[in-house]
Amino acid sequence: MSLDAREALRLDDVRKVYGTADNPVTALDGVTLRLSTGTFTAVMGPSGSGKSTLLQCAAGLDRPTAGSVTIAGQPMPTGGEAEVTRFRRDRIGFVFQQFNLLPTLTALENVTLPLRLAGRRVDRKRCALLLGQVGLGDRLDHRPAQLSGGQQQRVAIARALATSPALIFADEPTGALDSRAAREVLALLATAVRDHGQTVVMVTHDPAAAAYADAVVFLADGRIVGELARPTADAVAERMAHLTDAVALAGV
């Protein structure tokens, strides 16, 4: 396979159609995208543009109707959930809007869980260190209910980093947080990319959040309609306003 080892994510003509044969709804209409290792990319678009579907298809949480997904040179398997899960948990970390920490486990146990599930050696010291890096070194034994939203999301970031994945996906990671907690979470993601060579793809609707990324990919009606390198919040907001207007006009 002539695959670039530096390529963390590659989408080739990915389509996703929901609904019935009589009433199909196209969420992704042929998306092709290549992202290099060590980059921080934001995916933006008006609501209903397919950005969450894009993320879920790329992360193996949803199955594309057509097209292929390649993670760090390896094609995403097309078999059952177990096969996809085994592929995913070795290569992909995920940060959700609603954190999705297990309520019965402590912060440290939540971070070690992906390693346990994958049957890998559990390096508690390293996991504790990861929690220290996200500023929760003194909260290792707290349960999610005892942590604030921002703290829970930082645990989720440590959990995503624990398996040293090729790629971390973040779906509106700041959507449930206040602005201060949101800034901390975004700074952590940016640090993971800049200092540790992680690759992060983040879906957001917040131009200020997108400004933390190296590049922004704009999505509308299930298609990529533009890119912006070294984004500023103002530039992103302006582009989004145009997109929203264009979608509104097209809908008339």
Which positions lie near another protein, rule CB under 8 A?
56, 61-62, 81-82, 85-86, 88-89, 94, 96-98, 100-105, 109, 113-114, 116-119, 143-145, 159, 163, 176
The distance of closest approach from Cβ of residue 87 to another protein in the complex, given in angstroms and rounded to an integer, is 10
Nearer to another protein, 19 or 245 (CB): 19
The distance of closest approach from Cβ of residue 220 to another protein in the complex, given in angstroms and rounded to an integer, is 21
74-75 sheet: strands from edge to edge: 24-36, 7-19, 66-71, 74-75
The Cα–Cα gap between 17 and 9 comes to 21
- Residue 250's Cβ-count burial label (10 Å; 0-12, 13-18, 19+) is exposed
The distance of closest approach from Cβ of residue 105 to another protein in the complex, given in angstroms and rounded to an integer, is 6
The distance of closest approach from Cβ of residue 116 to another protein in the complex, given in angstroms and rounded to an integer, is 4
Nearer to another protein, 143 or 223 (CB): 143
Nearer to another protein, 89 or 154 (CB): 89
Nearer to another protein, 111 or 236 (CB): 111
Nearer to another protein, 95 or 236 (CB): 95
- Residue 183's Cβ-count burial label (10 Å; 0-12, 13-18, 19+) is middle
The distance of closest approach from Cβ of residue 22 to another protein in the complex, given in angstroms and rounded to an integer, is 22
Nearer to another protein, 40 or 99 (CB): 99
The distance of closest approach from Cβ of residue 88 to another protein in the complex, given in angstroms and rounded to an integer, is 7
